[in-house]
Amino acid sequence: MTQGFDVTTDDPKTDYEIIYKALWLVLVNFARMLAADGEGAGKLLTCEVTGAVDWENGIKVAKSVINSPLVKCAMFGQDANCGRIMCAMGYADAEADVNKADIDLCSVAGTMPAYRDGFAVTFDEDFAQQVLKEEEIIIKIHLYDGDAKATAWGCDLTYDYVKINGDYRS
C-alpha cells in the first residue's frame, strides 16, 4: 500500500487550480527534458519573450529564435552574437518591433546584456564566454509592445548533432 497526501479542498475552483499548476509544472519539465536530450545536444536553450503584444506573437518570436540554426551554433560556440538573435526575431512572422527590443543572455554564471534600444551592447568577451559555457542558456527578450509573455525550449547545434544525423541513412 502506498501512502500519499490529500491536496484536494472543498472548493472545486481551488482543486482545479492545484491540478492545473501541477500538470503545468510536469509538462514544462517534460518539454525542457525533451529539448535538452536532443541528438548530440550540449546545452539546453530557453528563449523567454516578455512585452509581446499577445501570446501568439511572443511564441512566434521565441520559436524563431530557438529554432534558428545560426543561434544554435552561436550558443554552441559560446559566441554572444546578438545579430543572429536579431535576425531570427526579424524573420519571425510576428508583430514586433525588434529595433526597440532588449536582449540578455543568462546562465548560472550571470546575466550579460547583449542588445538595447536597437544597438548591440559592448561587452566583456571573457564574461560572455563564462555565461555561455554553461549547460543551460536563457535568451531573454523584452519587446516593449504589450504585456504578453511566451517561452520556447531547444538545444544547441553541436558537431555531434551533425555527425549523428549525417551518419545514418533512411
In whole angstroms, what is the distance from residue 46 CA to residue 71 CA? 12
Alpha helices in 37-154 (DSSP H): 55-67, 69-76, 82-90, 125-132
pLDDT tens-digit map of 57-85: 999 999 999 999 999 999 999 999 899 99
Q: Which residues pair with 105 in a beta bridge?
A: 112, 139
Its pTM stands at: 0.86
- The domains found in the chain, sorted by start residue, are 38-167 (3.10.20.340)
String of b and e for 125-143 (b: at least 16 CB within 10 Å)? eeebebbbebeebbbbbbb
